[in-house]
Structure 1
Amino acid sequence: MIVVDVVIVLLLVLAVYAGLSVRMVQQYQLGVVFRFGRVLDEVRAPGLVRIVPVADRLRRVNVQIITMPIPAQEGITRDNVTVRVDAVVYFKVVDPVKAIVNVQDYSFAMSQVAQTSLRSIIGKSELDDLLANREPINQGLELMLDSPALGWGIQIDRVEIKDVALPESMKRSMARQAEADRERRARIITADGEFQASARLSEAAKVMAATPAALQLRLLQTVVEVAAEKNSTLVLPFPVELLRFLESSTERNAAQAVEATEVAAQLAEAEEGAEDSPNVEQLELPQVAAAAELGLPKHPLDVAPRHAA
């Protein structure tokens, strides 16, 4: 009976010893063991970890990527604009011994370093870079955080600027600037379009001048396009070329009439000279031949009634 009691006591002692000496480390953790206050070089891997009761103390360190937001920091940029910038830092512990021994609270230390680095990077950057060219700023901020983080056993994964808050007056100024730039681009595009259209119209005018029938065909196409709208009134423009043609025809007819009058006067003078000297042989003048070609009478008496009319 005594033996059974001894065995039970031994089992209880072993159970208590096992409970004090066995610890469990999660998959996303690493264990750091302190023996009598001194850290051991061996880092305990995830799983069941055995330690010496009373002598050892286990510290678990999370090695997951930690997302730490940086509170909004207000600063003045290099071009003297007051802004508020907030960011986020992604980091993880790669050396748990340094993270536990070298710094008291590595999360709080990283937060403070990130805030001071963000204020420093704001003063070194311009507003346009903060708004449109953030990648170099993110890289510069990451380099500023890497220097102290390496001594703490921390690796910076990435740093991102989340938002840039501007004063209302600056927002209105930027809106006016963007509107003016858009208007300038619209005017340039409109002027370029008019220039190209004028060049095409000039080429079309040259083609139509070479072939006058093309202008009439274009006029008919315009009439068809206007008639497709089902309008009750259709106004047709009178071609200027037709007016020029009629004007040139009128001037040509007037010139022919003046020439015919001169020819008739010369014929009349020739007839009078023939009556005064009957022995002189009458020859047909070149003007008479010209009058015959124009369909005018050869005798001046035939021309007189026309002038009377």
Structure 2
Amino acid sequence: MELFAVFAGVVVLVAVGLVFAGVKTVPQGEKWTVERFGRYIRTLESGFWVIIPFVDRIGRRLTVMEQVLDVPAQTVITKDNAAVIADGVVFFRIDDAARAAYQVRHLEEAIVNLTTTNLRSVIGAMDLDDTLSNRQKI
């Protein structure tokens, strides 16, 4: 009888452990991706969720609140061949967690590179006077 009680206790402990391993609480302002055997299956939004332990796992934890990135200073040539040093700040927010997690390798670096390229092309198409007078629009 004692052997059965020990066995039942172990089974109950394992079952409780499995339940706790499968329960996930996603904080407000975040989205988590779920992978089953390494492949994306769904996105968890804020709230209480249950996943299958040892089969499903949390892939990426992404913040969907507005974030700020600093664009480093760079020298840009204007349309009239004047050199201007430009830097900036980018505000971004993730709308699609799956695409942000799996279609771009380094998201923040890609955003900074895209912003740098656009900044160079916009300033390169403007005269120095236009560049200086339209700083807020750029």
Is the TM-score greater than 0.5?
A: yes
- Aligned 1:273-292 pairs, distance under 5 A: none
- Aligned 1:1-309 pairs, distance under 5 A: 1-40=2-41, 42-58=42-58, 59-136=60-137, 138=138
Which AA in structure 1 matches 2:22?
Answer: S
Query: Per-residue deviation at 1:135?
Result: 4.3
Distance 1:50 1:97 in 2: 19
Residues 127-173 of structure 1: CA deviation (Å, up to 9, x unaligned): 2222222344x3xxxxxxxxxxxxxxxxxxxxxxxxxxxxxxxxxxx
Q: How many residues align?
A: 136
Distance 2:34 2:101 in 1: 11
SS in 2 for 1:53: coil
Q: Give every structure 1 segment of 4 or more consecutive aligned residues whose post-TM-superposition deviation is greater than 3 Å.
A: none
SS in 1 for 2:61: strand
Which AA in structure 2 matches 1:104?
Answer: R
Residues 74-133 of structure 1: CA deviation (Å, up to 9, x unaligned): 011112211101111101100001111111121111111111221222211122222222
Distance 1:107 1:76 in 2: 25
User: Unaligned 5+ residue runs, structure 1?
Assistant: 139-309
Higher relative contact order (Cα pairs below 8 Å, separated by 6+ residues): 2
Distance 2:23 2:105 in 1: 26
Do 1:93 and 1:99's aligned partners in 2 also have CA atoms closer than 8 Å?
A: yes
Distance 1:86 1:19 in 2: 48
Q: CA RMSD in A?
A: 1.6
Distance 1:23 1:87 in 2: 38
Which AA in structure 1 matches 2:29?
Answer: Y
Query: Per-residue deviation at 1:53?
Result: 1.6
SS in 2 for 1:64: coil
Do 1:33 and 1:57's aligned partners in 2 also have CA atoms closer than 8 Å?
A: yes
The structure in which a higher percent of residues are helix is: 1
Do 1:73 and 1:118's aligned partners in 2 also have CA atoms closer than 8 Å?
A: no
Do 1:99 and 1:106's aligned partners in 2 also have CA atoms closer than 8 Å?
A: yes
Which AA in structure 2 matches 1:53?
Answer: P
Residues 254-306 of structure 1: CA deviation (Å, up to 9, x unaligned): xxxxxxxxxxxxxxxxxxxxxxxxxxxxxxxxxxxxxxxxxxxxxxxxxxxxx
State the identity as a percent.
35
Q: How high is the TM-score relative to the length of structure 1? A: 0.42
Do 1:30 and 1:43's aligned partners in 2 also have CA atoms closer than 8 Å?
A: yes
Distance 1:64 1:24 in 2: 17
Distance 1:49 1:105 in 2: 27
Q: How high is the TM-score relative to the length of structure 2? A: 0.88
Distance 2:103 2:67 in 1: 19
Residues 155-201 of structure 1: CA deviation (Å, up to 9, x unaligned): xxxxxxxxxxxxxxxxxxxxxxxxxxxxxxxxxxxxxxxxxxxxxxx
